[in-house]
Chains A and B, each alone.
Chain A
Amino acid sequence: MTGGRRISVAFAAVFVATAASIHVVTAQEQHHHHAHHDHSMVLDRDGMVMNANADVLPKDCTEVSADLEFEVRVGRDYARRGLTFGYNQHEWVVPPCARVTVTLINEDQVRHQWMVHGLPRYLYPQGMFHLEVSGEKRKSGTFIVPSDDRTYLAHCDIAQHMEQGLKGQVVVGSGNGTLPSIPGISAQPLPDDYASGR
Chain B
Amino acid sequence: MQWPLNRSGLATRNYLVDRVRPNVAGSVTENSSASGTSAVRFAYLIGVLAAFALTLWNIPPAYLSAEWAAYRNSWMGGSKYTEAPPSRTVSVAELDIDEICSPDFDTWRTAHRIDGVEIEAVSDCAPDNPWDIAVSVRGANNVTEATLMQSLFAPDAVEKGDDRDGDGDPDVIDIRLEVMELNGKSPDGSEVVPQFEIGPGITPGFWVFAPKTRGMTTINFESLVANRIVRLPAPVIRIEQGDEVRITLENSHYLPHTIHFHGLDHPFKTSDGKGNDGVPVFSEHPIMPGKARAYQLQPRHAGTTFYHCHVQPHSHILMGLQGMLVVEENRPNNWVQTFNIGAGRVRSPSVAVREQYDREFDLHYLEIDSTLNNRIQRFNDPRLVSRSIHRGYNITKRSADYFVLNGRSFPYTLREAMVVVNPQQRNRIRILNGGSEGLALHFHGHKPRLTHRDGVPLSPGQEIQRDVFWIASAQRVDLELNTVNDGLNAYGAGAWLLHDHREQAVTSNGIGPGGDVSLVAYEKYLGPRGLPLAVGGLQSLAPFFSSAYYAGELPVFSGMAGHDLADPEQRAFGATNLWYFWIGILALMWLLIIVPLRRWRAR
Name A's B-contacting residues (CB within 8 A): 41, 43-45, 48, 50, 75-76, 82-85, 108-111, 115, 117, 126-128, 130, 132, 134-135, 157-161, 163-164, 180-181, 188-192, 194, 196-198
Flag if A157 contacts B216 (CB, 8 Å).
Answer: yes
- Contacts A111-B252, A189-B187; is A163 near B221 (CB within 8 Å)? no
- When chains A and B are docked, how far (Å) is the Cα of A163 from the Cα of B192? 11
Which of B154, B189, B218 touches A111 (beta carbons < 8 Å)?
A: B154
- Contacts A84-B382, A108-B291, A161-B252; is A181 near B188 (CB within 8 Å)? yes
- Contacts A134-B156, A163-B184; is A109 near B291 (CB within 8 Å)? yes
Hey, what's the 0/1 contact readout for B291-331 against A, CB within 8 Å counting as 1? 11000000000000000000000000000000000000000
Instruction: Pick out which of these stretches binds chain A: B18-26, B238-246, B353-361, B384-392.
Output: B384-392
Flag if A188 contacts B187 (CB, 8 Å).
Answer: yes
Residues of A within 8 A of B90 (CB): none
Flag if B214 contacts A43 (CB, 8 Å).
Answer: yes
Residues of B within 8 A of A85 (CB): 289-290
A-B pairs with beta carbons under 8 Å apart, 23 shown: A45-B156, A82-B382, A82-B383, A84-B254, A84-B382, A130-B215, A132-B214, A134-B156, A157-B218, A159-B181, A159-B184, A159-B217, A159-B230, A160-B181, A163-B186, A163-B187, A164-B254, A164-B380, A188-B188, A188-B380, A196-B384, A198-B391, A198-B393
Hey, what's the 0/1 contact readout for B184-223 against A, CB within 8 Å counting as 1? 1111111001100000000000000000111111101100
Q: How far is the CB of A120 from chain B (nearest CB, A)?
A: 15
Flag if A198 contacts B189 (CB, 8 Å).
Answer: no
Flag if A111 contacts B290 (CB, 8 Å).
Answer: no
Residues of B within 8 A of A75 (CB): 290
Residues of A within 8 A of B292 (CB): 109-110, 135
- When chains A and B are docked, how far (Å) is the Cα of A44 from the Cα of B391? 42
Residues of B within 8 A of A197 (CB): 392
Flag if A159 contacts B182 (CB, 8 Å).
Answer: yes
- Contacts A41-B149, A157-B216; is A76 near B187 (CB within 8 Å)? no
The yes or no answer to B253 lying at the interface (CB within 8 A) is yes
Residues of B within 8 A of A135 (CB): 250, 292
Flag if A84 contacts B289 (CB, 8 Å).
Answer: yes
Residues of A within 8 A of B404 (CB): none
> Which residues between 134 and 163 of chain B lie within 8 Å of chain A, taking CB atoms?
145, 148-149, 154-156
The yes or no answer to B474 lying at the interface (CB within 8 A) is no
- Contacts A43-B155, A109-B291, A164-B382; is A191 near B217 (CB within 8 Å)? no
Q: Which residue of B lies closest to A81 (CB)?
A: B381
Flag if A190 contacts B182 (CB, 8 Å).
Answer: no
Flag if B250 contacts A109 (CB, 8 Å).
Answer: yes
Flag if B156 contacts A111 (CB, 8 Å).
Answer: no
Q: Which residue of A lies closest to B392 (CB)?
A: A198
Q: How far is the CB of B215 from chain A (nearest CB, A)?
A: 7
Residues of A within 8 A of B226 (CB): 159
Residues of B within 8 A of A180 (CB): 188
- When chains A and B are docked, how far (Å) is the Cα of A191 from the Cα of B379? 8
Q: How far is the CB of B485 from chain A (nearest CB, A)?
A: 47
The yes or no answer to B180 lying at the interface (CB within 8 A) is yes
The yes or no answer to B178 lying at the interface (CB within 8 A) is yes
Flag if B180 contacts A159 (CB, 8 Å).
Answer: yes
> Which of the listed residues A158, A159, A163, A188 has the most CB atoms from chain B within 10 Å of its own CB?
A159
Q: A157-B215, A189-B188 are in contact. List 20 more A-B contacts (CB 8 A).
A: A44-B155, A45-B155, A48-B214, A76-B289, A82-B380, A84-B254, A85-B289, A115-B216, A117-B221, A157-B221, A158-B180, A159-B181, A163-B184, A163-B193, A164-B254, A188-B380, A192-B379, A196-B384, A198-B391, A198-B392
Residues of A within 8 A of B145 (CB): 43
Which of A76, A111, A126 touches B178 (beta carbons < 8 Å)?
A: A111
Flag if B190 contacts A126 (CB, 8 Å).
Answer: no
Residues of B within 8 A of A127 (CB): 221
Flag if A159 contacts B388 (CB, 8 Å).
Answer: no
Residues of B within 8 A of A191 (CB): 187, 380
- When chains A and B are docked, how far (Å) is the Cα of A117 from the Cα of B149? 22
Which of A117, A132, A181, A189 touches B215 (beta carbons < 8 Å)?
A: A132
- When chains A and B are docked, how far (Å) is the Cα of A179 from the Cα of B558? 49
Flag if A163 contacts B154 (CB, 8 Å).
Answer: no
Residues of B within 8 A of A164 (CB): 254, 380, 382
Residues of B within 8 A of A189 (CB): 187-189
- When chains A and B are docked, how far (Å) is the Cα of A82 from the Cα of B386? 12
- When chains A and B are docked, how far (Å) is the Cα of A161 from the Cα of B194? 11
Which of A41, A48, A111, A190 touches B186 (beta carbons < 8 Å)?
A: A190
The yes or no answer to B258 lying at the interface (CB within 8 A) is no
The yes or no answer to B509 lying at the interface (CB within 8 A) is no
Residues of A within 8 A of B379 (CB): 192
- When chains A and B are docked, how far (Å) is the Cα of A9 from the Cα of B145? 48
Residues of A within 8 A of B483 (CB): none
Flag if B188 contacts A190 (CB, 8 Å).
Answer: yes
- When chains A and B are docked, how far (Å) is the Cα of A135 from the Cα of B184? 24
Q: How far is the CB of B242 from chain A (nearest CB, A)?
A: 26
Q: How far is the CB of A137 from chain B (nearest CB, A)?
A: 11
Residues of B within 8 A of A117 (CB): 221
Q: How far is the CB of A39 from chain B (nearest CB, A)?
A: 15
Residues of A within 8 A of B254 (CB): 84, 160, 164
Residues of B within 8 A of A158 (CB): 178, 180, 213, 217, 252
Q: How far is the CB of B569 from chain A (nearest CB, A)?
A: 39
- When chains A and B are docked, how far (Å) is the Cα of A182 from the Cα of B129? 36
Q: How far is the CB of B248 from chain A (nearest CB, A)?
A: 9
Q: How far is the CB of A135 from chain B (nearest CB, A)?
A: 6
Which of B154, B181, B184, B220 touches A134 (beta carbons < 8 Å)?
A: B154
Which of B182, B185, B216, B393 touches A163 (beta carbons < 8 Å)?
A: B185
Q: How far is the CB of B141 from chain A (nearest CB, A)?
A: 9
- When chains A and B are docked, how far (Å) is the Cα of A50 from the Cα of B216? 12
Which of A45, A111, A126, A181 touches B187 (beta carbons < 8 Å)?
A: A181
- When chains A and B are docked, how far (Å) is the Cα of A19 from the Cα of B156? 36
Q: Which residue of A lies closest to B381 (CB)?
A: A82
Flag if B194 contacts A190 (CB, 8 Å).
Answer: no
Q: How far is the CB of B388 from chain A (nearest CB, A)?
A: 5
Hey, what's the 0/1 contact readout for B219-233 against A, CB within 8 Å counting as 1? 011000010001000
> Which residues between 235 and 287 of chain B lie within 8 Å of chain A, taking CB atoms?
250-254
- When chains A and B are docked, how far (Å) is the Cα of A140 from the Cα of B178? 24
Flag if B380 contacts A109 (CB, 8 Å).
Answer: no
- Contacts A135-B292, A159-B181; is A192 near B189 (CB within 8 Å)? no
Q: Which 10 A-B pairs have the closest CB atoms?
A: A198-B392, A188-B187, A108-B290, A109-B292, A84-B254, A76-B290, A157-B216, A82-B381, A110-B250, A110-B252
